[in-house]
Amino acid sequence: MYLKSNGFACVVLCCVLVGLSGCSGSEIEKMSDTDLRTKLNECDYQVQTSSVRDAQTCHNYRRECARRLQEEGRFVCK
């Protein structure tokens, strides 16, 4: 019984850590305006059948563009 509950705790901890690492967004925030614009253009030309991960990444790029416009007054994306 001890191993089962310990294993469950390990799984829960891993899920929490993965979830928190996805929320930081610091890599995108550190990205240059040019790189962000390039990545967003790549998203615009992706095939409609892209993966869920790719769709989420593109959403994060769009959100960062909106954040830069709202908070910093910089229009870096089309």
Q: What are the tens digits of pLDDT across the range 36-64?
A: 999 999 998 876 657 889 889 999 999 99
Top mean pLDDT of 4-8, 15-19, 32-36, 72-76 is at: 32-36
With beta carbons less than 8 A apart as the criterion, state whether 40 and 62 touch: yes
Q: What is the distance, to the nearest Å, from the Cα of residue 62 to the centroid of all Cα atoms in its chain?
A: 10
The pTM (predicted TM-score) of the whole model is 0.62
